[in-house]
Amino acid sequence: MDQQCEDCEQRAPNLKRCGGCYQVFYCSRKCQKRNWKSKHRDACKKFQATHVTTISTSSDQISSIDLSKLALNDMNNNAMSKYKPVKDMRKALNEAKKVFPNYDILDDFRKISETFGSRRILVAYMSKEHPYPFRHCIYIQDKTNKEMMVAFYLDHDDPTPHFRWQEIIPGNYLCVKNPYIHFFMDGQAGFRIDEPEVITVLSF
pTM score: 0.61
Domains within the chain, CATH numbers bracketed: 1-52 (no CATH), 89-202 (2.40.50.140)
Q: Where are the beta strands (DSSP E) in 20-136?
A: 25-26, 51-55, 62-66, 104-106, 120-129
Number of H helices, E strands in the chain: 3, 14
List per-residue pLDDT tens for the chain, 204 residues long.
688 999 999 999 888 888 777 788 999 989 999 999 898 988 887 776 666 555 444 444 555 656 555 544 444 444 334 444 555 688 999 999 999 999 999 999 888 865 556 789 999 999 999 888 888 999 999 988 888 999 999 988 889 999 999 999 999 999 999 998 888 877 778 899 999 999 999 987
